[in-house]
Amino acid sequence: MIVETEAYAPNDPASHSYKGRTLSNETMFGPPGRLHVYRSYGIHWCANIVCGDDGVGAAVLLRALEPTRELEQMQARRRLENPRLLCSGPGRLAQALGLTGEHDGLRLDHSPFELSPGGPVDVVSGTRVGITRAAERQWRYALSGSSFVSRPRPRA
């Protein structure tokens, strides 16, 4: 279950799409409904859902999941015992799901992916994490009270 995301828009200095298309952010420019995976700090993979139309360059970064099934698979991939840490962060999440650059550009409405709507939830917004530009935009969204978000209690 997705418990935390961040928005990245076109004309957003913090977005990878801000300074034009490159080889690795190409899929951010659409079409929407696909997965964008990029390498972070040389050693991690981070997963986005592309949500802008063709040529726009907008996406939602998946920051944290609450693992509800396949726990053993995730642990096997991550070699980490604490289930709290399994998916609480973009790099962890991608590793737990086995996402790599190979999955960049794949459609989320086709196997092996499956997205389902959840019930109504309480969402709080806060400042985005780990960026230096446009950091004041409150574009981070998390489930209120969830203990699986990557940082405790985003400021509402």
5 binds DNA (CB under 7 A): no
Q: How far is the CB of 139 from DNA (least distance, A)?
A: 11
Task: Select the residue interacting with DNA from 35, 61, 74, 97 (CB under 7 A).
Answer: 61
**Which residues face 143 on adjacent strands?**
123
In terms of CB distance, is 41 or 111 closer to DNA?
Answer: 41
16 binds DNA (CB under 7 A): yes
137 binds DNA (CB under 7 A): no
Q: How far is the CB of 30 from DNA (least distance, A)?
A: 13
Cβ atoms 85, 92 nearer than 8 A: yes
The tokens describing 133, both together, are 């530009």
Dihedral sign from CA coordinates of 44, 76, 71, 32: positive
- E strands, the chain, in order: 2-8, 35-40, 44-50, 59-65, 123-126, 140-143
In terms of CB distance, is 10 or 123 closer to DNA?
Answer: 10
R_g of the chain computed on alpha carbons? 15
Options 13-21, 69-77, 108-116, 140-148: segment touching DNA (CB under 7 A): 13-21
Q: How far is the CB of 113 from DNA (least distance, A)?
A: 18
SS3 74: helix
Task: Select the residue interacting with DNA from 44, 56, 106, 138 (CB under 7 A).
Answer: 44
Which of 111, 101, 131, 129 is closest to 36 using CA atoms? 101
- Which spans of this chain sit near DNA (rule: CB under 7 A)? 6, 8, 14-17, 19-20, 22-25, 28, 38-44, 46, 48, 59, 61, 78, 80, 85, 88-93, 128-133, 150
